[in-house]
Amino acid sequence: MDKLEIVGGTPLHGEVIASGAKNAALPILAATLLAEGPVTLSNVPHLNDVTTSVKLLRSVGAEVTFHDGTSLEIDSDSTNDFVAPYELVKTMRASILVLGPLLARFGQADVSLPGGCAIGARPVNLHVEGLAAMGAEISIVDGFVRARAKRLKGARIVLDTVTVTGTENLVMAATLAEGESLIENAAREPEVIDLCEFLTSMGAQIEGAGTSTIRVQGVAVLRGGPYSVMPDRIEIGTYLVGAAMTGGRIKIKRTRPNDLDAVLQKLEECGADVRVDSQSIELDMSGRRPRAVDIRTAPYPGFPTDMQAQFCALNAVAEGTAVITETIFENRFQHALELQRMGANLSIQGNTVVSRGVERLTGAPVMATDLRASASLVLAGLAARGTTLVDRIYHIDRGYECLEEKLAQLGAQIRRRHD
């Protein structure tokens, strides 16, 4: 099993280019099932989750052709199967995103229930209830979500919890439903906006993307075309935290700084100089040690839960005491237990972590448990004294394109071991 070996202590310096956003590419790949005619996607990150999505599209009969590292063509006109099998869904919960498109375009979908994951139970009840409100006959049978509908009907849906993929599934379903749908308490994440812009480019009629009320007027058909995926704000935030933790100076190009307001604000609060222009973000720590910052995760535009683990690592080596509160998932502190093994002085109390920063962490063998937890352990290794060995890095390969190459480009002493 691959491991990442990191020798800490080198400040990150230099420039890297952001990859396309995993959490925009995944719903957009699912949305290609709605289109008549081929869709050409560019800036698609080369990640295991994207590979899994392509397998899923091919398993229902769509044709997928890779043009080069980051662009591919999908033609779903040949779709002739409507099942998302457990073997694929268990490796990527976002497979649930094919439910809305398959149902809306082909009138049927059998999608394996994703089951829980390391960070929480992560039910899909809101996806199911929303589709039922649109007239689908939908039930849970033998571990599958089984859905049938001649044609979905527009409905007013009020989501009792803000759900990113729930919002995305229902918007996709509504694009081909009969009449108008209103999705209230919708997720406002930039990735939801990117999906809506992609759907609109195919002929969907959507208003309010990025607000908590999304209005969709159903149309008869959506037509394929070209689209480029937005930059990955969480990948970008992860590298910026790495520079802040190691006292370095980096510039990230091909970004959309506005997507990261809450994160950039916290980086400035911890003492970083942050400069942005239309497409790049530069962070300069000038060798300083970061100040610890309080974090409370929330749906966008609040502080993103996907950046919580990274800031937990930053607080572990920052000056002072701080509290991190996780309000989205019930079990998203597994990285904290591993950071303690590296000498972090922190305590977990329910959905909060209280940390008192230490001058230096000590490198150690640690184990990744989920995508962002593994990122935080890599960052801790960069700032630690000595060598850190991160195990189970298949978690990282799901969501970070060329992580060790990009970090090495920034001067990190990191290599992948194929033990």
Catalytic residues: 117
CB 368 within 8 A of CB 390: yes
CA atoms 165, 169, 171, 172: torsion sign: positive
Question: Would you say 164 or 382 has its CB closer to ligand EPZ?
Answer: 164
Among 55, 122, 288, 341, binds ligand EPZ (CB under 6 A): 122
Q: What percent of the residues of the chain are helix, what percent strand, and what percent coil, each to the nearest 5?
A: 35, 30, 35
Site for ligand EPZ in 80-109 (CB under 6 A): 94
Tokens, residue 391 = 């195990």
Q: In what order do the strands lie in the sheet with 345-349?
A: 295-296, 321-325, 352-356, 345-349
Min dist CB 168 to ligand EPZ, Å, is: 7
CB 260 within 8 A of CB 277: no
Cβ-based neighbour number of residue 84 at 10 Å? 26
Question: Would you say 175 or 376 has its CB closer to ligand EPZ?
Answer: 376
Considering only 121-129, 206-214, 252-260, 265-273, which stretch makes contact with ligand EPZ by CB under 6 A?
121-129
Question: Would you say 27 or 381 has its CB closer to ligand EPZ?
Answer: 27
* Site map (CB under 6 A) of ligand EPZ, residues 163-182, x = contact: xxxx----------------
Residue 145 near ligand EPZ by CB under 6 A: no
CB 188 within 8 A of CB 262: no
Residue 328 near ligand EPZ by CB under 6 A: yes
Among 9, 61, 85, 120, binds ligand EPZ (CB under 6 A): 120
Residue 78 near ligand EPZ by CB under 6 A: no
Among 74, 126, 283, 412, binds ligand EPZ (CB under 6 A): 126
Q: What is the DSSP string of 77-125?
A: GG----EE-HHHHTT-GGGGGGHHHHHHHHSEEEEE----BTTB----H
Residue 410 near ligand EPZ by CB under 6 A: no
Say if residue 277 is exposed, middle or buried (CB neighbours under 10 Å; 0-12, 13-18, 19+): exposed
Binding site for ligand EPZ (CB under 6 A): 22-23, 26, 94, 120, 122-127, 161, 163-166, 305-306, 328-329, 371-372, 399
